[in-house]
Amino acid sequence: MTPRTLFLSDLHLPPGPSPFREGFRRFLEGPARHAEAVYILGDLFEYWIGDDLGMQEYAAEVALLAALSQQGVKLYFQRGNRDFLVGEDFCALAGVELLRDPAVIDLYGGITVLSHGDLLCTDDLGYQRWRRFAHNRTAQGIFRALPRAWRERIAQRVRRRSNSGKRYKPEDIMDVNAAAVEAFFRLSGARRLIHGHTHRPAQHDLSGGMQRIVLADWRPERMEYLAVTQEGLYRLTV
């Protein structure tokens, strides 16, 4: 089989039974087994309120990832805006390497920059303020020390406010900013950018031969991942 690397993001797996969790299981037990590497670029989980609780809720997924890693498939995880509290304990148990955001890799001879994508949405000033607070280590430490019920209530409140706020935001500010994209290319030296977050799957061919690939968010009718080989890019479903 032709060597391939797989990318996916924005699955938003809920803690309860779900077609998405079944789809992810099929992915890990099927196409992922035949890959050289799998990159999960954030928002694998609907929310993550700490490794201590998340690894209990998602024990099945952790076990599947660990089994895949033990078979020799390289696994990489980049935090998203829903699961930015994923920590080293999860990564160690699941056999996953945690990536910075952005991260630069050599993808079959092509320098590629990877990101969840929320860093590129610089026009959404309210979200960027929230992101800076949420990624503050002191704030995260305080949150992780709270009882489970408190953490769950806070997470649910944040999700409700986020979903409500999106209805009143102009569509364009929730997409990437062109200058931010340009800066990613300039600082990384890459010619290809792969990201998720915006839920606007597409392939954008930019000036200068640059390419921006937006991964698909998972939906009941389309659970998609991106396969990259030496020959090209392929959008596939599980």
Share of the chain above pLDDT 70, in %: 100
- For residue 166, the model assigns a pLDDT of 72
Which residues carry a binding-site annotation for Mn(2+)?
Answer: 10, 12, 43, 81, 116, 197, 199
CA-CA distances (angstroms) from residue 137 to 39, 133, 202, 218? 25, 9, 34, 30
The pLDDT of 150-154, averaged and rounded, is 93
Is pLDDT above 80 for 164?
no
Structural domains in the chain, sorted by start? 5-237 (3.60.21.10)
Which residues carry a binding-site annotation for substrate?
Answer: 81-82, 124, 162, 166, 169, 197
- For residue 88, the model assigns a pLDDT of 95
The pLDDT of 123-143, averaged and rounded, is 94
Is pLDDT above 90 for 96?
yes
Which residues carry a binding-site annotation?
Answer: 10, 12, 43, 81-82, 116, 124, 162, 166, 169, 197, 199
pLDDT band with cut points at 50, 70 and 90 for residue 174: confident
pLDDT band with cut points at 50, 70 and 90 for residue 9: very high
DSSP state of 54: H
Provide the mean pLDDT of the chain.
95
Higher pLDDT, 29 or 165: 29
Q: Identify the weakest region by mean pLDDT among 18-22, 26-30, 161-165, 231-235.
A: 161-165
Q: Which structure tokens are listed for 90?
A: 């999860």
Q: pLDDT, tens digit, for every residue of 23-61?
A: 999 999 999 999 999 999 999 999 999 999 999 999 999
- For residue 158, the model assigns a pLDDT of 87
DSSP labels for 96-136?
-EEEPSSEEEEETTEEEEEE-SGGG-TT-HHHHHHHHHHT-
CA-CA distances (angstroms) from residue 165 to 28, 94, 124, 161, 198? 34, 34, 11, 6, 15
Is pLDDT above 80 for 151?
yes
Q: pLDDT, tens digit, for every residue of 178-212?
A: 999 999 999 999 999 999 999 999 999 999 999 99
- For residue 110, the model assigns a pLDDT of 94
